[in-house]
Amino acid sequence: MPTLNLKPTHKAIADYYAGLEEMAQLDFFGEGAVAPAFAALLRHCAARTDWTLAEQYVLKRGGRAIRVDGALVDSFKLPYGYWEAKDSDDDLEAEVARKFQSGYPKQNILFQSPDRAILYQDGVRVFDGDIGAAAGLIEALERFFAYQPPAFERWQEAVAEFKNEVPKLAQALLELIEAERQNNKKFIDAFRGFADLCRETVNPNLADKAVEEMLIQHLLTERIFRRVFNNPDFVERNAIAREIETVAWFKRVERDRYKWRDSGE
């Protein structure tokens, strides 16, 4: 979970208020004049979380496009939060209601004017306060950037668990492949054909160890791609992948043959 650790004395906070003051002295109070100062502050915070502020971000809602002033997106372009700016003359409460009525998301959206911020997360208002002073501004930003959608939390947990399990699975596959290369003639022939294909298409000096690693990587990842991306044509469109599946098929046939023999069927 990102932590900004902002302080009222931080330069980004001071620059934000200085920007607002400069606009006020010039009698510029419209949204287009005051929003850039907050956008700069959001960019500063986003850089601390490896996110990016995408301004004028377009969302599709019921066949129509909704344009928010900004969205926080990660390196995969997945949005983590949305920002909508208003000026001091706007009735922020009324603007929030109007935006939600038009289909704006409620997962993590910050409505901001120079003196007030309203933050909704998962449809619940979690912050509504004065941001004319640094304490309120920092609280709103910390809450905004700390939000983690439930699906993302589960994804991150799955990634952490997967990282722990993959090395174990890879080692088990390596041991299985090496055993089959010693005793299973059909597997030996299939592996040799696969190795020849790899040397022909990738590198003529490819060692058997590298071929084993390619086989292991495919076996670990192909099923994931097939299930997650629902792409049954992955194997059919890739020559090396097809050959790997041939090797795997021989292994399954041998495994099932011994299972049937042992069960007396």
Domain map (residue ranges) of the chain? 11-148, 152-255
Backbone angles phi, psi at 233, to 5 degrees: -85, 0
Which fold, 11-148? tt1808, chain A (3.90.1570)
- List, in sequence order, every residue forming a beta bridge with 127; answer none if it has no partner: 119
Percent of the chain with pLDDT over 90: 37
Cα-based distances in Å from 223 to 106, 218, 219, 234:
35, 8, 7, 10
Amino acid (one-letter) located at 253: V
List, for residues 69-105, the tens digit of each pLDDT value. Answer: 999 998 878 889 999 999 877 899 999 999 999 999 9
Rg of the chain on CA atoms, in Å: 28
pLDDT score recorded for residue 132: 92
| Element spanning 171, H or E | helix 150-183
pLDDT score recorded for residue 25: 67
Judge whether residue 236 has pLDDT over 70.
no
DSSP secondary structure of 40-87: HHHHHHHHTTT-EEEEEEEEEETTEEEEEEEEEE-TT--EEEEEEE--
Question: Cβ distance 221 to 166 under 8 Å?
Answer: no
Q: Tell me, yes or no, if the pTM score tops 0.85.
A: no
Amino acid (one-letter) located at 107: Q
